[in-house]
Amino acid sequence: MYIIKLDAIDSTNSYLKAMSAVNLPKDFTVVVANHQTQGRGQMGTIWQTEDGKNLTASVFKTFEFVDVEKQFYISMAVALSICKALEGLKISQLSIKWPNDILSANKKICGILIENVIKQNKLKGSIIGFGLNINQKNFDNLPKATSISLLTGFMHNKDEVLSGILTQLQYYFKLLEAKDYAEIKKQYEALLFRKDKPSTFKYEDGSTFSGIIKDITETGKLNVWTEDDIIETFDLKQVTLLY
C-alpha cells in the first residue's frame, strides 16, 4: 500500500487519472486530500464538502483478474467495504442506494465514484473515489445528507476511519480475486435500499412510475417489478430512485 497525502486538490480521482495517463500507479496507491475543490459524483454531479472535515480519497487497484463484463462487482465490493467499516463505528440502518451511495436510515453519508481503466477491452485497474462525511455537521440545502459525527454525537479521527475502510477493501478485493461473485452479490443485495418495497422511480424525461426493486443483474442493472406486472431492467442513466 502506498499513501499520498495532499493538503488540497481539485479531485483525488482526477489526480490518479493523470498519473494513469502516463503509467499505471503502483497497485493499491491511495490518495487522500484534506480538501477537495472539485469533487465529482456519479453522472457529473458535484460532491460538496467542508474543508478538512470529511474523508476524500481515491484508491488505484489493479484488477486484471476481473473480466470487463464483471466490472460492476468492483462497485459492489467497494460499497460493501465502506458499509462494513461503518458498522465497526456503530453506524446503524446502513444500506446501499443503487448503484453505490451509502445511506444511514434515509440519509446519504458516503458517495462513491469508480472509473475503470480499460485497454484493448481488458480491465487493467480501477480508480476508486469516495467521499465520506465524517465531522461535518451543517449541510446547507442538503436535507438528505448526514455524517458520522451527527450519527454518533462525537468527532472522529479521519485517518482511523480511512484505515478501517482500507482493511475492508483488502478483504473484499480478495473475494474478487477468488471470483466469489455469488457471495459479493448476495451481500450487496441484502443491503440494497428499498429492495422488495414499493418505490417511485423517475425517467430521464421527468415522468415517474411505481415499482419494486427485486435484484440486480450481473452487470449492475436494476431489475424492477413494475405496475404492469413484469420485470423491467434499467441502467443508471435510465431511471432515478426517488426517496
Would you place residue 44 in the very low, low, confident or very high pLDDT band (cuts 50, 70, 90)? low
pLDDT for 35: 86
Q: Is the dihedral of CA 204, 49, 134, 170 positive or negative?
A: positive
DSSP string, 154-178: S---HHHHHHHHHHHHHHHHHHHHT
Least confident of 8-12, 49-53, 177-181, 236-240: 49-53
Give residues with Cβ within 8 angstroms of 93, minimum separation 6.
Answer: 103, 104, 105
pLDDT for 48: 57
CATH code given to domain 198-242: 2.30.30.100
Class at the top of the CATH hierarchy for domain 2-190: alpha beta
**Residue 126 corresponds to which cell in the numbers above?**
480501477
pLDDT tens, residue by residue, 120-151: 999 999 999 999 999 999 998 888 999 999 99
Confidence check: pLDDT of 45 > 70: no
Three-state SS for 130-145 is EEECCCCCCCCCCCCE
Determine the average pLDDT of the residues in 50-65. 93
For residues 115 and 21, the answer to whether their CB atoms sit within 8 Å is no
pLDDT for 243: 84
Give residues with Cβ within 8 angstroms of 185, minimum separation 6.
Answer: 73, 76, 216
pLDDT for 180: 98
Phi, psi of 104 (to 5 degrees): -120, 120
Q: Nearest Cα to 17, choosing from 31, 2, 1?
A: 31
Dihedral in degrees, nearest 10, Cα atoms 87, 128, 148, 8: 150
pLDDT tens, residue by residue, 58-115: 999 999 999 999 999 999 999 999 999 999 999 999 999 999 999 999 999 999 999 9
Element (H, E) at 19: helix 12-22
Mean pLDDT of all residues belonging to the chain = 94
- How far, rounded to the nearest angstrom, does the alpha carbon of residue 57 sit from its chain's CA centroid? 12
pLDDT tens, residue by residue, 178-210: 999 999 999 999 999 999 999 999 999 999 999
Would you place residue 40 in the very low, low, confident or very high pLDDT band (cuts 50, 70, 90)? low
Give residues with Cβ within 8 angstroms of 128, minimum separation 6.
Answer: 58, 59, 60, 61, 74, 78, 112, 114, 169
pTM more than 0.85: yes
Confidence check: pLDDT of 212 > 90: yes
DSSP SS3 for 106: coil
**Residue 195 corresponds to which cell in the numbers above?**
429492495
Phi, psi of 10 (to 5 degrees): -65, -45
Would you place residue 41 in the very low, low, confident or very high pLDDT band (cuts 50, 70, 90)? low
CATH 3.30.930.10 segments of the chain: 2-190
pLDDT tens, residue by residue, 5-25: 999 899 999 999 999 988 999
Distance CA(22)–CA(201), nearest Å, equals: 41
CATH 2.30.30.100 segments of the chain: 198-242
pLDDT for 176: 98
